[in-house]
Amino acid sequence: MKASILIKEALQFCQEKASWRVSGISDLRRGDKWTHSTFRYGLARQISNHLLNNYREIKAVYIFGSTLEDRAGSTSDVDLILVVQKKNELLLHYIRKLKAEVLRAYKKLAGNGTAGLTDLLDVNIVDDEELKQKKGCASLIDSIYTPAIKI
């Protein structure tokens, strides 16, 4: 899937959620935190749907961090956890490619203030064993303090 389509659909999601306020590209460029958080949540949903529909080894996708707390800014990343049965090189390669394409499309959309951004997506891949042991980012799933949310 083209990253530009993911970005466009995330922006559309953001505009639908902002029915009571003027929102969209201008609010992203102004650095509005609600708009950035909502846009990033919409982007995470699009990415989740795309990955779950195209990669059988992905069992679930979770989001955590500033996006969920409405405090994302123009250079905030989107924190994702992918739960997989077993990690594999093909999926890792695709994720690296997707991250680069989404970053390029986002910088083109958001414009000024994003030049120093090196990653828009922070994708953490957790396998069944790590999930069972609650190692690393897997500890955020079902956390009582800062839980990751399944999307």
Whole-model pTM over 0.95: no
Q: Which domains does the chain have, with CATH numbers?
A: 3-150 (3.30.460.10)
Nearest partner of 123 among 66, 63, 35, judged by Cα: 63
Residues 96-118 have pLDDT tens digits of: 999 999 999 999 888 877 888 89
Q: How confident is the model at residue 19 (pLDDT cuts 50, 70, 90)?
A: low
pLDDT of residue 115: 82
Do residues 87 and 69 touch, judged by C-beta distance below 8 A?
Answer: no
Please state, in angstroms and rounded to a whole number, the distance separating the CA atoms of residues 110 and 142.
Answer: 33
Residues 23-70 have pLDDT tens digits of: 677 888 888 888 899 999 999 999 999 999 999 999 999 999 989 888
